[in-house]
Amino acid sequence: MKESLSFDHRPDAALGDALRRALDPGDPAPFVARVLARADQVRAVSWDTVLARWSRLGVAAAALVALSAGYVVGRAGMSAPAAQPSMAETLLVHPAQADVGIVLASVIDN
Amino acid sequence: MSDPQPPHPVPRIPEQDPAAEGVLVALAVAGDRAAFGALVERYAGVARRVAWAILGNADDADDAAQDAMLSALVKLDQYDPRRPFGPWLLRIVANAATDRRRRRSVRRSEPLDVGFAAGGPRPDATAERRALGERLRQALAALSERRRAAVVLFDVEGYSHAEIAAILGIPEGTVRSEVFHGRRRLRALLGDWKEEA
């Protein structure tokens, strides 16, 4: 072991060996086994997370599609040609055109 | 400033075979359990020692090292393969150990057995080594967390000051200072031990 206390930049092999022996954590096999067992759980959880994320995305996408479809259908309904005026409208707007044929047609439709 | 090469190469895991290690990491990212197992096995020792250096006791160190390995597994896709794997992993280990230390009121190391501390009976070399180990652990426990980690990473694991700075997230100059003061304390202790023996 070096006796000098100078500010040197080289690892001290003797001190390192003594410390390595002092800090020897023992057989790594049980540690490795524990880590791998937990890693399997982490991987399983992460797959669940991925699937859950995709599931949430799927629900959000379906909601978006439904909203879009509703909007499109609504717009289409608003821009559709006006329906035939009802008999009441015809009578109110053009009383002169009111005749028996119109009234009968209205009764038959209803 | 670059560190000169040590006169006696310190056994250092990251220098074993960086190319093979890169392959292991790539396989582990792809979900290869055996590859991840090989990485864990390769770094188990250093991870547990570094965690011990920060936490000061073996049980917490093992828990922290285990958490760090799992955290590394989750973050493996963020690892830059152009950089050495060891410092990247040990940064995670150091953070996990530091977090654990902050979260819990971590118990200090068990007090040294009086018989060992006082240089009690040492019937053989094994007992003597064990006693020295106990004494070293006690001396390490008396150092600050950062100083312990710096000394262990430098003298035990063979990392450079720059790498230790990256691992511990502190300036390189601070690493040099911590290593200097830490090893001075430990050398003094070991010197006393030799005189007692």
Q: Which domain holds residue A87?
A: 83-110
The pLDDT of B29-34, averaged and rounded, is 89
User: Does residue A8 form part of some domain?
Assistant: no
> Who among A13, A18, A23 is closest to B190 (CB)?
A18
- Just give the CATH number of B111-197: 1.10.10.10
With a cut of 90, say whether residue B133 has pLDDT above it: no
* Separation between Cα atoms, residue B14 and residue B153, nearest integer Å: 12
Is A4 a member of any domain? no
Q: Report the percentage of chain B scoring pLDDT > 90.
A: 43
Tens digits of residue pLDDT in B66-76 = 999 999 999 99
What's this model's pTM, rounded to 2 decimal places? 0.64
A2:B154 CB<8 A: no
Give the pLDDT score at B37: 92
Nearest-CA neighbor of B35 among A26, A37, A36?
A36
Alpha-carbon distances of B90 from A6, A81, A82, B47, B98, rounded to whole Å:
28, 72, 74, 6, 12
Task: Give the lowest-confidence range in A18-32, A45-59, B174-188.
Answer: A45-59
Contact in structure between B28 and B73 (CB atoms under 8 Å): yes
- Rg of chain A taking only CA atoms, in angstroms: 42
A34 touches chain B (CB under 8 A): yes
Are A28 and B53 in contact (CB < 8 Å)?
no
Report the alpha-carbon distance of residue B137 to residue B186 in Å, rounded: 10
Contact B156 A12 (CB under 8 A): no
Using a CB-CB cut-off of 8 Å, the residues of chain B touching A7 are 176, 180
- Tell me how far CA of residue A78 lies from CA of A66, A68, A69, A107, in angstroms: 18, 15, 14, 28
CATH number assigned to the domain with residue range B13-107, chosen from the 4 options 3.50.30.30, 3.40.50.1700, 1.10.1740.10, 1.10.3720.10? 1.10.1740.10
Residues found in chain B: 197
Question: Do the interacting molecules here have an ipTM over 0.85?
Answer: no
A36 in B contact zone (CB under 8 Å): yes
Tell me whether A94 touches chain B (CB under 8 Å): no
pLDDT higher than 60, residue A5? no
Please indicate, yes or no, if residue A7 is contained in any of the structural domains. no
